Structure 1
Amino acid sequence: MLDHVFTDAIGALRDAMESAFLERQAFEERFQADVLLGDLTWETSYSLPGEGNPPRTRADITLDWPTWAQTAYRSWYIGEELDEPPRIEIEIVMRVQRLATLPKVTAILDVLPEESTTIGEETLQRSSPTVETVFDAELEPDEYAVEVSYEGSYDLEEEVLADGSVLDSHFSSMGGWIASTLVRLGDIKLDYLPPGDEDS
């Protein structure tokens, strides 16, 4: 792995997920670079163990490292004074899927807090829900999913840039928060389709 504060953040978040015994969806993980703009993006998904494939509930996590943040990080690295600390943009989408009937969105929002646990001194703010409908060949509704995202950013102050291990403590609560949120979503009485690996 590259020795870089962004990859340190990825490692800290992975450790938090593993400490909470969450199951990584290996085929959902991506590390991408925008060849035109230079932005870096890391995407991954986690679910509770034993949920089937695909799981009933899932957390989709995205970390963005924009080009301007890389410029700020490079300036700090070569000893220049920071005008603005580099920032990682964070989005966590809580997804309930494999639904056989359209649920009451209020039942889902009722168990979701308005903001995440703290990441350093920051929290992620909840956005409005999105409902997804999958149609069959006859254009009849076949499956539903509901997503609610939490969005925000994490400023990398000089103490974090100087010692990447600080990220471990700042991200440590995220695993437990995501796990407990997925448990609350899974406890809602909803009408689920069987897992895909049980359909055949």
Structure 2
Amino acid sequence: MLDHVFTDAISALRDAFESAFLERQPFEEHFQSDVLLGDLTWETSYGLPGEGEPPRVVAHITFDWPAWSQAAYRRWYVEDELDQCPAIEIEIVLRVQQLARPVDAEAMYVSVPSHSPEIGGDRLDRAGLTTEISHPDPDDPLDLTSQYAVEITYEGLYELAEETVADGRSTLLDDHFGVLGGWIAATLVKLGDLDLGFLPAE
């Protein structure tokens, strides 16, 4: 197993989602490296249990480990000096899909908070709302219904404490991301309970 603070953060978030009884979506997890810039990106998706495939509500999570964070982490690792705390860039997209009609954007904004709970002294900010429409294919006799979806995006920076960087056994990551897991689960439940007019399950 790779011993790195970024993979420790990934493991902590996975544990948080499992504790919140969220289900990881199959084939939706990716770990990528930007060869030119040196950034690492981890992407995954989780939904509520029993939602089926595809789920009506789902959370898409992206962790970015930028090159400057790696440089700060390497400096600590090699020289035992931490001039700048490394950070993980976080994006969370809450998606509601398989809708039978368009969504009122103002009603959606009212139903979700403008910020996430505090995660180690930081919060994710709501970055916007996107609506989507999928039109039926006129050449497909079985495809007769338009489908709608809406996405609410949260973005922010999670700065790693020196305690977390210096000691992989620190429980700070578990404590901080445990809050995030519970918040995402509760928000997905709230979105799924809204009277939005979902299409029948496949």
Same fold (TM over 0.5): yes
Moved more, 134-143 or 20-29: 134-143
Moved more, 170-179 or 101-110: 101-110
Take 1:162 and 1:82, find their aligned partners in 2: how far apart are those partners? 9
1:157 equivalent to 2:165? Answer no
Deviations 1:30-85 (A, max 9, x none): 11111111110000001111112111101100000011111110001112433321
Is the CA contact 1:130–1:148 (under 8 Å) kept in the aligned structure 2? yes
> SS at the partner of 2:195?
coil
Q: Kindly state the Cα deviation for residue 191 of structure 1 after the two structures are TM-superposed.
A: 1.4
Question: Which residue is equivalent to 1:71?
Answer: 71
Report the residue type matching 2:52 in the other structure.
Answer: G
Take 2:100 and 2:149, find their aligned partners in 1: how far apart are those partners? 9
Q: Kindly state the Cα deviation for residue 141 of structure 1 after the two structures are TM-superposed.
A: 7.3
Identity %: 61
Name which of 180, 189, 193 aligns with 1:187: 193
Stretches (4+) displaced over 3 A: 138-141
Take 2:108 and 2:167, find their aligned partners in 1: how far apart are those partners? 39
Report the residue type matching 2:156 in the other structure.
Answer: G
Take 2:32 and 2:195, find their aligned partners in 1: how far apart are those partners? 37
Deviations 1:118-170 (A, max 9, x none): 11111100122001111222499711110011100011121110123321112
1:58 equivalent to 2:58? Answer yes
- TM-score normalised to the size of structure 2? 0.92
Ranges in structure 1 where 5+ consecutive residues have no aligned partner = none
Equivalenced residue count is 196
Is the CA contact 2:103–2:131 (under 8 Å) kept in the aligned structure 1? no
Question: Which residue is equivalent to 1:3?
Answer: 3
Question: Which residue is equivalent to 1:99?
Answer: 99
Question: Which residue is equivalent to 2:41?
Answer: 41
> SS at the partner of 2:75?
helix
- TM-score normalised to the size of structure 1? 0.93
